[in-house]
């Protein structure tokens, strides 16, 4: 941890790189705006598509959780849904690794509305 960062730490020990993602976020945010590099185009497209998929995945998962808690799903349905979401989550992790993307990359800054996720 740099001295500048240490000076900013008021409580806690700043372990496990809690601040590191700020830099990733800044880089990701800037890439979104200026990325016209041909080589990066594929990654940029993958990022865009995966952001949409991740949003849908999270929305559907929340809906499933609500329905599970509301008792409107049978045990078989819960089991099937859970397995689907688990597989989807693992597949997304694989794709993120393939394209070198982090969780923060699959977020969208919506300006005054805040972040998408």
Dihedral, CA of residue 110, residue 29, residue 61 and residue 52, to nearest 10? 80
Q: Which is nearer to another protein, 30 or 45 (CB)?
A: 30
Closest contact distance (angstroms) between CB of 37 and another protein is: 13
Strand-pair partners of 115:
109
d(CA 1, CA 82): 39
Q: Does 36 bind another protein (CB under 8 A)?
A: no
Contact assessment for residue 81 and residue 64, using Cβ atoms and an 8 Å cutoff: yes
10 lies in the binding site for another protein (CB under 8 A)? yes
Interface characters, 41-70, with another protein (x: CB under 8 A): -----------------x--xx-xx--xx-
Torsion of CA 96, 100, 102, 103, to 10 degrees: -20
Binding track over 63-102 against another protein, x by CB under 8 A: -xx--xx-----x--xxxxxxxxx--xx------------
- Alpha carbon distance 17, 72 (integer Å): 41
Name the residues that contact another protein, by CB under 8 A: 2, 4, 8-16, 18-19, 22-23, 26-27, 29-30, 33-34, 58, 61-62, 64-65, 68-69, 75, 78-86, 89-90, 103, 111-112, 114-115, 117
């Amino acid at each position: 941890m740099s001295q500048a960062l240490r000076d900013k730490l008021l409580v806690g020990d700043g372990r496990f790189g809690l601040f590191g993602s700020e830099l990733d976020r800044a880089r990701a945010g800037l890439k979104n705006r200026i990325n016209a590099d041909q080589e990066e185009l594929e990654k940029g497209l993958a990022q865009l598509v995966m952001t949409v998929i991740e949003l849908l995945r999270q929305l559907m998962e929340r809906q499933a959780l609500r329905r599970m808690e509301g008792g409107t799903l049978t045990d078989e349905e819960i089991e099937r849904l859970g397995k689907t979401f688990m597989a989807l989550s693992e597949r997304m992790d694989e794709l993120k690794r393939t394209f070198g993307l982090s969780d923060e990359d699959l977020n969208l800054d919506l300006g005054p509305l805040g972040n998408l996720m």
